[in-house]
Amino acid sequence: MVAITVPCTIDQIPLVKCPKAANAAVPTIDLSAPGAAAAVADACRGVGFFRATNHGVPAALAEALESRAGAFFALPHKDKLEHSSARPFGYGSKTIGPNGDVGWLEYLLLSVGSSTIQASSLPPSLRAALEEYTVAVRAVGTRVLELMAEGLGLADRSALRRMVVDATGSDEMVRVNHYPACPLASSVTGFGEHTDPQIISVLRSNRTGGLQIMLRDGRWVPVAPDPDSLFVNVGDALQVLTNGRFRSVKHRVVAPEAGKQSRLSVIYFGGPAATQRIAPLPELMRDGEQSLYREFTWGEYKKAAYKTRLGDHRLGPFELP
Ligand code: GA4
């Protein structure tokens, strides 16, 4: 097989039709408030996305990571490329996934195993900051998965967290995305529209906007950046586990325009072990309710996902007529 590297230039990156709508649609949930479980479930049944406050991640950890990541991305391109050999993990620039998706960004995608970042070659200070942050954000993921289970009315509040943070061999990742200001055009795609395949994603960004989510009625709305909050996404696997009650949210990022600060985001993805069966939780099913999906394992879904383009409807082939 011959590997062809296609150099990606700005004119190969698609533009995004930007919405004029305001930011009203994103529910904000105080994770420490009574009633948080019901609010989380409501948000996940609605838009599939919410802003979490009082999450307990110390600002200092996020800021330390932001500054170390900023220093990393400021390195000469050839130095960063030294971290790009372990596809899909490591450093990437402009290309996303193996099937031709491109965006105005560079990133680090790292696998998390027992809270350790699996990439020994990273600068030690960046690796340490990422590990500390990951431990903290994982704890938020754990708490949110418990709130989701409670909000769904599951007797076992650990039913969801057991698939991710407590499971051996679970598939957890951290991604650091850096979107430099784009000098040549506005509305340039940073990260094209997609849903996250996993159970849950927890995002934090700096003060630069660009993230947009799709509402249930198909409208795109911008998400106002807020470095003090975390943003939680429902992923495809959670949509299946809840037989469509929770909705995997479509989202995308528009690159900052010339003169703006670059955008830096860090996302924790909580996925289960490869052997985990993904099917609606029996306790949720009403009498006579049929599964909307044929059964699959996370390993199968992941394999299928890596054959798709970013914007494809990945659950499509698993939907039952
Ligand atoms: C989208 C969510 C996460 O960023 C990610 C992405 C992954 C990658 O960048 O390697 C994928 C994409 C994401 C879904 C479809 C496939 C796989 C790129 C791609 C085209 C890390 C993930 O798990 O799925």
Question: pLDDT tens across 282-295, in order?
Answer: 999 999 999 999 99
* Segment 29-37 mean pLDDT: 97
User: What is the CA(196)–ligand 1 centre distance, in A?
Assistant: 7
**Dist. CA 188–CA 257, nearest whole Å:** 8
Token representation of residue 272: 């289960």
Using the mean position of ligand 1's atoms as its centre, give its distance from the Cα of residue 32 in Å.
Answer: 31
| Closest residue to atom 19 of ligand 1, CA basis | 97
Nearest atom in ligand 1 to 173's CA: 21
Written as six digits, the tokens of 254 are 């528009």
Asked whether residue 191 carries a pLDDT value surpassing 80, the answer given is yes
Q: Tell me the C-alpha distance between 54 and 59, whole Å.
A: 11
pLDDT at position 13 over 80: yes
Kindly list the protein residues whose Cβ atom lies closer than 6 A to any atom of ligand 1: 88, 96-97, 99, 101, 109, 173, 175, 194, 196-197, 269, 305-306, 308, 310
The one-letter code for the residue type at 37 is A
Give the Å distance between the CA of 311 and the centre of ligand 1: 10
β-strand 28-30 against 49-53: which pairing, if any?
parallel
pLDDT tens-place string over residues 136-186: 999 999 999 999 999 999 999 999 999 998 888 999 999 999 999 998 888
Among 84, 96, 118, the mutation site with the greatest number of ligand 1 atoms within 8 A of its Cβ is: 96
Task: Report whether pLDDT(197) > 50.
Answer: yes
Q: What mean pLDDT is reported for the chain? A: 93
Amino acid code (one letter) for 46: G
Q: What secondary structure letter does DSSP report for 279?
A: S
Q: Find where tokens 């709130």 sit.
A: 147
pLDDT class for 118, splitting at 50, 70, 90?
low
